[in-house]
Every structure is written in C-alpha cells, then in structure tokens.
C-alpha cells in the first residue's frame, strides 16, 4: 500500500517497456479481462554445497488491473542473483514495489543497484547486516542524485540473502517475507519481516518525532476526528489506513514509514534504513516466500503459506497464490495491485552441521535493525524434502482444497493444477 498518488486514487504514468532482464511481464489488458494470464519463470534449482542441500524456486509477476488506467505499467520488479561474488553458497532474492509517478524507474534502479552493491562488498559474508545497511543507504542516496524524480516516488524492498544454511532478510516498507515451519502435523507461517507502517507503535512514534502528521484520508478530509490517533489494525482498517502528511499540506500520504526514494517523505521520517532479521535453517524449515504487498492485502501470512504447501512445484504455488490474491482484490475493490511472488523450497537439508534449536528467540530493535534468531524444535533425521512431502500430505488431508483462480503459464487460459491430483481447473476472473 503506497502513497495516495499511486495505489489509491490517481495519476499513473504511461506504459513503457521497462527493464525485462529480471522482470518478465504480463502483456497489456484491453478492459476487464474474463481471463488473465500469469507470466512466470521456469523452475530453477540452486545447490548449496557447503551444507549439501538445494533451493528450488520460481517467480511470478502479475501486472495490476486499473479500469481507469488500462495501460498502467507494472511497477513491481524483482531480482535474483545467484552465486554472489562467485560463491556457490551465496544467493540473493528481492522484490521491489514501486509507487508514484516514477515508481517503475525507481524499482528497476533499486533492484539492480542494491544487488550490485551487495555483490561488490567484500565483507558481505562476514557481516551481512552491515553490508545490507550500507547497500540500502548508498542506493537511496544514488537514487536521489539520479535523473529519476523521486520527490514523490520510490520503492519498497523486501530481500533475502542466503549464505549457506542461514538466511538474512532486509526490509524497507510493507512487502513481506515469510517462512514455513513444520510443527508436528502442521505447517506454520513465521514472518521474516515486520511491515513498516504507522500501525506499528514504534514506527508511528518515530515519524511523529520527525514532524509527520499521521492521519487517514477520512481524517485529512474532515470526515473523521483527527484527534483520535487509533486505527485498529491493518486487517480491520486496511481500506483507509493511517498515512504520513507534512504539517501544512495534503501530501505525500504514504502508508509506509520506510522506503527507498521518496525524498519529500524523507523530510518527515520515511527512511531507507533496513530492518534485518537472521534465521538459521533447519530440516523443519520447508520453504520461504518473498512477495509484494499486493499478495498480502487480503491474505494473511498463514493463508499464503497454507496455499503454497498444497503444491510440490513452486510454479504451481506461485500461480495459485497470485490468482487468489487477484480474485480477492476484484471482490473487494474495483482494481488490483501489482502482484509479485518468489517461492523458494528448501530441499534435502539434514541435521548435519545445523545444530538444534527450539522455538524463537526474542526480537530486539537495535540501531534500526530488526534482528531475530529462529530455529525449529524436535528435529528428526528425515531430510527437509521428505518432511515436506509428509507434512504436505497430512496437511491436504486436514483441510478442503482452495477454490483457485490463477494460472501457471503453461497455456493461454487460466489453468490451476489441482492440489488433490485431479485434472487442472480452468477458471475466469473478472
């Protein structure tokens, strides 16, 4: 959820080709489509030789549908860099959700520059949190100095850096990373990032100290009392969230408190300092998901993990989640957001060298970095892939199938592979 001038009401840039190196994109719509086709990459596998397991991943991006702007370009972008600095154990996944007039240019600039800076940092493996901080802040400064007008535009960024059997997550904004953990016969979603919005008390207080007015659109327009500084939670108040405004104006109206770019909002507390969390992988970790907030607007982290767990192929999981997100957008709004999702399955990770941890350690906010250590309890000798297949089977027996409405891009229609082994479903959306 971005600023009021991009994802809520008005002023979209005209369509352009954009950067297609990391960003395959759906073709333009003509009007409300009876069917939409989702574009995705092939299935890719990355071995992690240092710990003798592998990552299997796929990515999908779906351009949003805006009836008043049928040619609006996809402002989401993503970047996947493998074998960073020539190291086969280091890989990078990132999703960037642009907003504002120059949102597409901002997200494409940031996805390339951030990955470049991390790749060039000789201390990346030794101190990834410090490398993240440096890369985010340098990218932000370079975007300000570039030819791109980021005064009222920018991008959020959710990134995962895999170093051996440990993942480091850096986030600015309200996109999200989630990991699936085996817990007995259940698969539990654990957030790897914390959405940076005024709903968070710490972020609310920080931007207020920087001079921001925090009000919903209804409060700014005088429809609700601006003195009531309580908005419930994101689920109940998602349609009219608290936003950041300058003291004597009705701008910029950002619903997030951190981003890259947004030089105007920077003056009232919007910063590019990432919150960084670290998780040591164990056999109980099944897969992780990196996605733009278009996925999570109407779906909880647990719902997204539940859907992903129904599919052994991450391509099918991407298609099902994107389709369900798209459908829910159209049921609740007259448009959809751009949707981008990366799913990375963790294959054949054994106990060897991982150590045993139980539960989740405390989370502390230190110098702008949100750091957490996570492990899984009651580890067995089963490999990660065996555990995934077992839990997925148990999970499918416990719950009824979702009614999906998306497609893996294996034909011109919307074809969703059935999670119960039956024939694929073909559905329309709109």
Higher-confidence residue: 161 or 391? Answer: 161
pLDDT band at 2; cut points 50, 70, 90: low
Task: Using the predicted structure, report yes or no on whether residue 381 has a pLDDT greater than 50.
Answer: no
Task: Using the predicted structure, report yes or no on whether residue 30 has a pLDDT greater than 70.
Answer: no
Query: Lowest-confidence range among 130-144, 201-215, 340-354, 406-420?
Result: 406-420
pLDDT band at 218; cut points 50, 70, 90: very high
Q: For residue range 391-417, what is the model confidence (pLDDT) as tens digits?
A: 444 433 333 333 332 323 322 223 334
Alpha-carbon distance 214 to 205, whole Å? 10
**Alpha carbon 263 to chain centroid distance?**
22
Query: Lowest-confidence range among 85-94, 269-278, 319-328, 402-411?
Result: 402-411
- What pLDDT is attached to residue 351? 67
pLDDT band at 122; cut points 50, 70, 90: very high
Q: Is 20 exposed, middle or buried (CB count within 10 Å of its CB: 0-12, 13-18, 19+)?
A: exposed
- What pLDDT is attached to residue 24? 38
- What pLDDT is attached to residue 260? 98
Mean pLDDT of 271-297: 97
pLDDT band at 180; cut points 50, 70, 90: very high
Mean pLDDT of 303-332: 96
Residue 153 has phi, psi (to 5 degrees) of -140, 160
Helix 128-145 × helix 103-120 angle, to 10°: 140
Domain architecture of the chain: domains with CATH: 44-195+272-347 (3.60.40.10), 197-255 (no CATH)
Task: Using the predicted structure, report yes or no on whether residue 7 has a pLDDT greater than 90.
Answer: no
Q: Would you call 428 helix, strand, or coil by DSSP?
A: coil
- What pLDDT is attached to residue 79? 97
Q: Would you call 178 helix, strand, or coil by DSSP?
A: strand
- What pLDDT is attached to residue 70? 87
């Amino acid at each position: 959820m971005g600023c009021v001038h991009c994802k809520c009401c008005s002023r979209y840039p005209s369509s352009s080709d954009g950067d297609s190196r990391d960003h395959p994109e759906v073709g333009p719509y003509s009007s409300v489509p009876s069917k939409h086709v989702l574009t995705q990459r092939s299935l890719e596998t990355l071995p992690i030789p240092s710990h003798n397991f592998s990552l299997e991943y796929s990515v999908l991006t779906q351009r949003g549908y805006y009836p008043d702007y049928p040619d609006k370009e996809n402002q989401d972008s993503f970047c996947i860099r493998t074998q960073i600095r020539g190291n086969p154990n280091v890989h990078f996944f990132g999703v960037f959700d642009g907003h504002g007039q120059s949102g597409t240019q901002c997200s494409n600039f940031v996805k390339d520059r951030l990955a470049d800076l991390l790749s060039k940092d000789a201390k990346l493996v030794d101190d990834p949190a410090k490398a993240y901080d440096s890369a985010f802040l340098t990218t932000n400064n370079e975007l300000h100095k570039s030819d791109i007008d980021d005064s009222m535009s920018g991008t959020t960024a959710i990134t995962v850096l895999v170093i051996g059997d440990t993942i480091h997550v850096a986030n600015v904004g309200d996109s999200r990373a989630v990991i699936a953990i085996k817990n007995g016969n259940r698969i539990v979603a654990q957030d790897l990032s914390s959405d940076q919005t005024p709903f968070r008390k710490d972020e609310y207080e920080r931007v207020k100290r920087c001079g921001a007015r925090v009000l919903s659109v209804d409060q700014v327009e005088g429809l609700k009392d601006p003195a009531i500084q309580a908005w419930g939670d994101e689920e109940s108040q998602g349609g009219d969230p608290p936003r950041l405004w300058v003291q004597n104006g009705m701008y910029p109206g950002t619903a997030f408190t951190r981003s890259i770019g947004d030089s105007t909002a920077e003056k009232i507390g919007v910063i590019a300092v990432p919150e960084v969390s670290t998780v040591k992988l164990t056999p109980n970790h099944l897969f992780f998901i990196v996605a733009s907030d278009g996925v999570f607007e109407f779906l909880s982290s647990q719902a997204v993990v539940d859907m992903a767990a129904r599919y052994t192929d991450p391509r099918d999981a991407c298609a099902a989640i994107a389709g369900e997100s798209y459908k829910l957008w159209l049921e609740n709004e007259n448009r959809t957001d751009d949707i981008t999702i990366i799913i990375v399955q963790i294959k054949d990770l054994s106990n060897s060298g991982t150590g045993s941890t139980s539960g989740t350690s405390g989370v502390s906010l230190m110098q702008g970095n949100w750091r957490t250590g996570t492990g899984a309890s009651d580890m067995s000798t089963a490999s990660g892939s065996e555990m995934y297949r077992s839990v997925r089977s148990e999970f499918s027996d416990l719950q009824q199938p979702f009614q999906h409405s998306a497609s893996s891009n294996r034909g011109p229609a919307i074809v969703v592979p059935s999670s119960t082994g039956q024939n694929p479903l073909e559905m329309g959306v709109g």
